[in-house]
Amino acid sequence: MEKIEFLNNGSVTSVPGFLAAGVTAGFKKSGAPDFALVYSETPASFSGVFTSCTFAAAPVLLGREKVRQGGTLRAFAINSGNANACTGAQGLENARKSCDIAAAKLNVPASDVVVASTGRIGVQMDMSLIERGFELAVPALSAQGGNDASRAIMTTDTVPKSVAVKIRINGIDVTIGAMTKGAGMIDPKLIAPHATMLCCITTDADVDNEVLAGLLLPCAQDSFNRITVDGDMSTNDTVIIMANGRSKVKIVPGSVEYDLFREALLTVMQKLAREMVMDGEGATKFVTVKVVNARRREDAVLAAEAVANSLLCKTAWFGNDPNWGRVVAALGYSGAEFDPAKCNIFYDETPVVRNGGDAGTPECDLLDVVKKREFVITCDFGEGDEEYWVWSSDLSHEYVTINADYHT
């Protein structure tokens, strides 16, 4: 088989020893599923990365605390319909109480529970709905419940997002499963405890907390931190990884096993990150913005993110307008240091700008590129060997409609 094998209909419960459920607790007026629970049958190692937003939600504050304290994890609960953000001391107390409720229902320590929330900001949590969520979810836990859980965490997502892969290490199968949500308010800047996108990752590899932390943050930096839908960071971005060790395959830094596991984890996270952009609110285009041959990585990052987040660029992409003037303008105000006279720009492989000026390519050829569902904009600074890429989407009428009407 291939080194990394994608599993059909993969989810967080494709991993042996994990159960999940997705139920309707009543957070959403529509009656759609809105409460998910992922449960490890045995104590699992864990780590997490969270939003760097100063107005971090109560579950984020509590999650950071739990990651710092270490120990084990048995359950990760997510409600959709109330963010429990900007809710002060009461919000934090409600997050802690949610863990207590889970602990009582699952007969595990409260310290072994992490919660996450998504939805409207500034509204105190209705704890009766949390109670109902656990009352329904605990008996519904199942090894086939991963996809139900992924549907229950959706907000403006149009499709659930789940994946699982299998790798073979020393003749033993190791599985990684994951689910995520996020279609708007997407421009994560996840940091170690110190993604709205929420992600739960499960694995049966034997990986301790410290090693998981060393794997998770770099993989987040090359996946969820490389995407943008609208340039808005959420108060609630959270990624939690749980490793139950069921396979008995030990992952140790510096080993071949470590390298393969890291590659598989990054593959999972990048696939979900890509799906989030593809499902961006009202999105019709998936655009990769690459800056290459920059003098400094900082310059490549500034330039790529400026183009990827430019409203003028994003609306041009929606309108199938190959207006490269908007790209050079974004590069120019990005704060990146480069010589415009050395800058070349390509739409896919088609030259757009040569040495800072019009490359002379007929507009009809450029139009053929930007009309595609997916294309790549490459900005070559011609001054060094640093590079950076970002996955972005266009900005459509539908995005405005969704966010003008959205009220969880």
CATH value at residue 319: 3.10.20.340
CA-derived radius of gyration, the chain: 22
Q: Is residue 248 located within the same domain as residue 392?
A: no
User: In this model, does residue 52 exceed pLDDT 90?
Assistant: no
Query: Which has more pLDDT, 281 or 41?
Result: 41
Domain boundary among 237, 253, 278: 278
Q: Annotated catalytic sites, by residue?
A: 196
Mean pLDDT of 126-140: 98
Our count of domains for the chain comes to 2
Rounded to whole angstroms, the Cα distance separating 264 from 161 reads: 17
Q: Is residue 206 located within the same domain as residue 258?
A: yes
Q: Is residue 153 located within the same domain as residue 107?
A: yes
State how beta strands 386-393 and 227-228 pair: parallel
Cβ atoms of 79 and 51 within 8 Å: the answer is no
Q: Is residue 401 located within the same domain as residue 302?
A: yes
pLDDT score at 234? 81
Q: Is residue 240 located within the same domain as residue 322?
A: no
343-363, pLDDT tens digit by residue?
A: 999 999 999 999 999 999 999
Q: Is residue 16 located within the same domain as residue 141?
A: yes
Domain boundary among 278, 307, 323: 278
pLDDT score at 1? 43
CATH code of residue 139: 3.60.70.12
Left, alpha or beta for 189 (phi > 0: left; psi -120 to 50: alpha)? beta
User: In this model, does residue 199 exceed pLDDT 50?
Assistant: yes
Report the half-sphere exposure of 210 (CA within 13 A, side-chain side).
2
Q: Is residue 246 located within the same domain as residue 303?
A: no
Q: Which domain holds residue 331?
A: 286-405
Domain boundary among 261, 278, 295: 278
Rounded to whole angstroms, what are the CA distances from 289 to 177, 226, 324, 331?
Answer: 28, 10, 13, 11
Helix (H) or strand (E) segment spanning residue 390: strand 386-393
Left, alpha or beta for 363 (phi > 0: left; psi -120 to 50: alpha)? alpha
Q: Is residue 239 located within the same domain as residue 343?
A: no
User: In this model, does residue 302 exceed pLDDT 80?
Assistant: yes
